């Protein structure tokens, strides 16, 4: 059962930082039902376990080292 205050991720839409230095990696997150203006940059450690991450990495070959 989902927490009533839980916000779900719709998509990972961008990234910045050096994949070889995970502490520098941030991902722009789009939330379900929110406009792009409400996107947020979250650190790798906050998004690494998202189901969407595998597909995002597959679409961005430079991130393959994260797998």
Task: Report which of 33, 28, 6 is spatially closest to residue 15, judged by C-alpha positions.
Answer: 28
What stretch of H or E contains 53? helix 51-59
For 7-66, what is each residue's pLDDT tens digit?
799 999 999 999 999 999 999 999 999 999 999 999 999 999 999 999 999 999 989 888
What are the residue boundaries of the structural domains of the chain, listed by start?
9-66
The structure tokens listed for 26 are 């941030």
pTM of structure? 0.87
Q: Tell me which fold the domain 9-66 belongs to.
A: OB fold (Dihydrolipoamide Acetyltransferase, E2P) (2.40.50)
Kindly tell me the burial class for residue 19, based on how many C-beta atoms sit within 10 Å of its own C-beta (0-12, 13-18, 19 or more).
middle
How many C-beta atoms surround the C-beta of residue 34 within 10 A? 14
Q: Give the count of alpha carbons within 13 A of 27, CB side only.
A: 24
């Amino acid at each position: 059962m989902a927490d009533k205050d839980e916000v779900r991720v719709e998509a990972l839409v961008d990234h910045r930082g050096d994949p070889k230095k995970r502490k520098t990696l941030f991902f722009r997150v789009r939330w379900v039902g929110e406009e792009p203006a409400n996107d947020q940059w979250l650190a790798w450690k906050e998004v690494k376990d998202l189901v969407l991450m595998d597909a995002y990495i597959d679409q961005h070959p430079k991130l393959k080292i994260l797998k």
